[in-house]
Structure 1
Amino acid sequence: MHAALLPNGNVVFVDKIETWTHLKLPNGYPAYSSIYNPATQALRPLSLDPTVADGLNAIRYLDANGQQLEWLEPGNTLASNRWYPSAQVMPDGSIFVASGSLNGGDLTVHANNNPTYEILDPNGVSSGVNITMDILVRNQPYWLYPFLHLLKDGTLFIFVSRQSQIFDVESGTVVKEMPDLPSFHRTYPNTGGSVMLPMSKMDDFEPSIMVCGGGQAEGLDSPSEDSCGIIQPMSDKSEWSYTSMPDHRVMVEGVNLLDGTILWLNGAHTGAQGFGLADRPAYDALIYDPTTRRWAKAGTSTIARLYHSVALLLTDGTVLVSGSNPNEMPLHDNELVADNQYRKFPTEFRNEIWTPPYLQGDKAEQRPTGIKLLVTTPLRPGQEFTITFKPARPLAMIDVVLHTNGFVTHAVHMGQVMYHLEQSGWVELTDSTVKVDAKIPDVWLAPGPYFVYVVANGVPGVGQPVIINYGDLFEPVSVQ
């Protein structure tokens, strides 16, 4: 399962080839992709080549608002086959794509693997060049879906298994190696979760990376990991500090919440990623507070969210939780076999909404309303803009947040980032309207869609879409 939040507030889903789905295309074929409206529950199928014969190297395209009826498949391909790669949009709009399997075969056989990276231009067309990456080579077979985070100087933080580094994409060089994060593997097939913690001007937008969970081996009996490491990769002396989740998990994923805390959920207590390889589902939602470094349980689901589950923040500040497809083909409840690991858990078609503490009880009635961004997008880093809104109650505090989920799959949140924006405080206008001036961080950002949230007295309004773009500032990154 893959998911992304679109600028209009809808969610695009992409799944693997299935022999059956609830949603059908007009020709009667199962729909592998759809557009979902969280507000109305409307679901619209998106056509995708039913054979997906080029699934290892094809590049497909979707309009940012998902208005089209099918994925565009013009025949563009990656420079080589990449099953389970990671991608990060760079400040110049190019896309860094790394890792992947050549054929989906045994990861312990190095001939099956593709420990390289390539660059797509801002139009999503590959340079056609594969470049070997040492951190991928030396971490086989626990190296698919590496964690990528764009740092404020335009370099990348790359984490694979237990190892991490800062990598300069433009020069193709390693800037800095980090100490290893101890204990089990943290990337596929024993993926934990990775989050770049929310940043603010108070700490000069200094990035901190948090990595939680993981597992020992690719097997049903593999123990999972409860430890988390936190590191400031750009500090003079980068060392891991540690905290522990209340329980052990593999396939756990982290979501930046609008109050600056992190939601960790989904996954299993034992096993690994793959069909029939996980057991003992993790039903509890957990919240980590980076300020107090404390954990809290935050609700319990009754739905197992195992392999192919996703979670992402919606425009109303709640979190959509979906997926779980630990079977090669769909299984319904009446087809389950309790003592057969390959038929123990169903293919999950239900969505859930997890409500954060900042919207529980009567807080949902205290949202700021009438939010308007008095600016013509796109915005540039360092640009100031004005917001007007109506608070539900007299203001005691205000925060303005810039947030994007990026692209979510296999517990990996590619491009997720959150900033508490520099702002001037509020000015009261007429008709109970309030004005606040805010500023986009003057750091290197990935161009593309984001959402701006006004958080008044600790309660967020509905996110407003913005586009961040550097215009013609950049020359395209070239790969020799």
Structure 2
Amino acid sequence: MATYKHLLLLLLITATCAQLPGRWQTLLESAGIASMHTAVTRFGTVVLLDRTEIGPSNLTFPDRQCGPRHDCTAHSALFDPATNVLRPLTIATDTWCSSGQFLPDGTLLQTGGDMAGIKKMRTFSPCGVDGACDWLELKSISLTTGRWYATNQILPNGTVIIVGGRAAHSVEFYPPSATVPIRDFPFLAATEDPQLDNLYPYVHLLPDGNLFVFANTKSILYDFDSGATLRAYPDLGTGPWTYPSAGSSVMLALNPEDGYSKAVIVICGGTSYGVFFKQDVDFPARTTCGRIVATDPDPSWATEDMPMPRVMGDMVMLPTGETLIINGAMSGSQGFEGANNPCQNPVLYRPNQPDGLRFMTLTPTDVPRMYHSTANLLADGRVLVAGSNPHYFYKFYNVSFPTELRLEAFSPEYLDDDKANIRPTIEMAPDEIRHGAEFDIEVTTELSLVGIVELNLASAPFATHSFSQGQRLVRLEVTPPSMLVEGGGANREPYRYRIGCKAPPNGNVAPPGYYMAFAVNNGVPSVAKWVHLVL
């Protein structure tokens, strides 16, 4: 049962929720599927993806066409949040608890799953919602071993490493390596326990070109080229942090002020050993966050407490460098029917504030988002929230938490109307930039600028099971804005400025691919322009 302290917290939140920052919007009453995996494409469209072996969904193909599953319903869809238009997609093999990552050309690579999908590789070359793009099951190549609950991460040269999976203590690469088709990864065997708390490991590419890999309570610095473990970090302790006892994890924004040499990892929430195995749905989740400077010579974990307990939450990097913690439950664990007490208040984590002042409680949603829910940053600065199906099949009646088909968007406080006059608009920016290149952008604002305008690159990750694979935010080196047009006056013309920018120095800092480029003025981001960062 929830503790007395947690009950008091809920009463306080309920009494004050009307005054809390942020607002919610329902985009679709039904997407037809509960999106277990979600990814935003460079066209602004969103790929929604569920299991295929779940039985009929509520999304039918047009003209009674049947997909490859022969149940005449779709298990994937393409959604346009600008128009709320939805188009069903075809997917053949089971993608249950699979992994994914965008390739440098913007193609979504999707790997593994269950049953006939466990060794499959699939690609999706995105388009607008009115296009004809669809899933392609690769015939000529497949995974070397079955991967269920693995994690993907794009590497500095544009290849993808695929890490772990259930009973898969190894890594492999896409495109497949001819010299090293598969490599043992003993770290995953060492972190496995009876309830498999090393699944969906947290993998972050550090700016030194090595990987920070976290599973259960342990983490290492991993040289993916040689397969060597370069460092074992201190144990975080206090119980497991990865699936199925999962919290979530982000790497904070990389900054030019320190030469992109400092990487800070934050892991928040989760539950205790044994909760998943016992299916103790009322056992309180953790409030704890761990924070470590992974690039320090002698790193150590610092801990702090969220305002409320949370298991299976999602951590979303915002264009400002702050982190939104959203979705999940306040008790139980991941897994079917494994949790209770939905955590409906998002929390804003402000990493540059002093310890003790970093968390802000935000406006709650009316929709519980439990197991198999997702959250993704959109180019307009909102966060798309999808999914939630705590059941093996779709269940809509006679259960505490029905399968959830609604799509919502959460608007952080920076999108409030009273900030519209300082919100910049990107009027000109290059479509393509190269590492280390200098380039200009032009922005307009209603009010004249005061101070520096940031240009921040946000990746488009693959969100699933409380971890966004490949998520990163990179702040660029910029010059002070130079006024081109003085606005104001009787016609209230916008002010126009030119800002000099310098692209990330190499693929260690920002792997090649498509990024959302946000201009940020005093904590208020523009609508992003998609830019292609190339080697």
The TM-score with structure 1 as length reference comes to 0.89
- Structure 1 residues 23 and 126: CA distance shift in structure 2, 3 A: farther
Shift of 1:370: 4.8
Matches within 5 A, 1:207-226: 207-216=263-272, 217=274, 218=276, 219-221=278-280, 222-226=283-287
Structure 1 residue 24, shift from structure 2 partner: 1.5
CA distance in 2, matches of 1:376, 1:306: 38
2:395 partner SS: coil
> Quick one: which of 156, 173, 183 aligns to 1:131?
183
Q: Distance in 2 between matches of 1:387 and 1:169?
A: 36
After superposition, residues 436-447 of structure 1 pair within 5 angstroms as 436-443=499-506, 444=508, 445-447=510-512
2:331 to 259, 270, 278: 270
| Selected match of 1:413 from 468, 485, 504 | 468
Q: How does 1:241-252 map to 2 (within 5 A)?
A: 241-252=302-313
Moved more, 14-23 or 238-247: 14-23
Q: 1: distance between equivalents of 2:177 and 2:51? A: 23
- How far the C-alpha of 1:195 sits from its partner, in A, is 0.5
Encode CA deviations 1:100-133: one digit per residue, 9 max, x unaligned: 12xxxxxxxxxxx111111122xx7887733221
How far did residue 365 of structure 1 move?
5.3
Q: Indicate conservation of the 8 Å contact 2:153/2:204, yes or no.
A: yes
Aligned residue for 1:284, secondary structure, equals: coil
Please say if residues 125 and 133 of structure 2, whose CA atoms lie closer than 8 Å, have aligned partners that are also in contact. Answer: no
For the Cα contact (< 8 Å) 1:97–1:119, is it kept in 2? yes
Q: Which position in structure 2 is the counterpart of 1:361? A: 417
Q: CA deviation at 1:376?
A: 4.7
Q: CA RMSD in A?
A: 1.8
Amino acid at match of 2:505: D
State the 1:351 CA deviation. Answer: 1.2
Task: List per-residue Cα deviations over 1:336-391 (Å, max 9, x = no partner).
Answer: 2xxxxxx3211101111111111123224543225211x351x2221211101211
Matched residue, 1:62? 124
- Asked whether the 8 Å contact 1:283–1:303 carries over to 2, the reply is yes
Mapped to 2, the partners of 1:389 and 1:16 lie a distance apart of 43
2:516 touches 2:528 (CA, 8 Å); kept in 1? Answer: yes
1:259·1:358 contact (CA, 8 Å) conserved in 2?
no
Match of 2:201? 146
RCO greater where, 1 or 2, for CA within 8 Å and sep 6 or more? Answer: 2
Matched, 1:323 2:384: no
Secondary structure of the residue that 2:243 maps to in structure 1?
Answer: coil
Counterpart in 1 of 2:442?
388
The match for 1:171 is 226
Report how far residue 50 of structure 1 moved.
6.3
- Which of 18, 24, 27 does residue 60 from structure 2 map onto? 24
Mean Cα displacement is larger for which, 215-224 or 225-234?
Answer: 215-224
State whether residues 79 and 126 of structure 1, in contact with CA within 8 Å, keep that contact through their aligned partners in structure 2.
no
Residues 123 and 137, structure 2, Cα contact 8 Å, conserved in 1: yes
Q: Which residue of 1 aligns with 2:41?
A: 6
Summarize the alignment of residues 212-361 of structure 1 with structure 2, pairs less than 5 Å apart. 212-216=268-272, 217=274, 218=276, 219-221=278-280, 222-292=283-353, 293=355, 294-332=358-396, 335-336=397-398, 343-361=399-417
User: Is 158-167 or 223-232 further displaced after alignment?
Assistant: 223-232
Distance 2:265 2:61 in 1: 41
1:64 and 1:91 map into 2 onto residues whose CA distance is 22
Contact map agreement 1:119 1:127 (CA 8 A) in 2? no
TM-score, normalised on structure 2? 0.80
Q: Is the 8 A contact 1:120 1:126 kept in 2?
A: no
Give the SS at the match of 1:9. coil
Q: CA deviation at 1:65?
A: 3.3
Partner of 2:239: 184
The CA deviation string for residues 184-229 of structure 1, in whole angstroms up to 9 with x for no partner, is 1000111110000112112332110000111123143144211111
- Aligned pair in 2 of structure 1 residues 370, 225: CA closer, same or farther (>3 Å)? closer
Question: Secondary structure of 2:419's partner?
Answer: helix
Query: Residues of 2 paired with 1:127 and 1:187: CA distance?
Result: 31
Does the CA-based 8 Å contact 1:454-1:460 persist in structure 2? Answer: yes
| Equivalent position amino acid for 1:301 in 2 | T
Question: Does the alignment pair 1:120 with 2:179?
Answer: no
What is the distance in 2 between the residues matched to 1:125 and 1:323? 35
Provide Cα deviations, 1:71-92, integer angstroms capped at 9, x if missing partner. 0113231001011100101111
CA positional deviation for 1:9: 1.1
| 1:43 aligns to 2:86 (yes or no) | yes
Secondary structure at the aligned position of 2:480 is classed as strand
Which residues of structure 1 form unaligned runs of 5+?
A: 102-112, 337-342, 471-480
- In structure 1, give the amino acid aligned to 2:319: L
| Equivalent residues of 2:150, 2:199 under 8 A apart | yes
Unaligned runs of 5+ in 2: 1-35, 67-71, 96-114, 487-494
Do 2:459 and 2:515's aligned partners in 1 also have CA atoms closer than 8 Å?
yes
Where has structure 1 moved over 6 Å in runs of 4 or more? 124-128
Amino acid of the residue matched to residue 411 of structure 1? S
Change beyond 3 A, Cα 1:370–1:179: closer
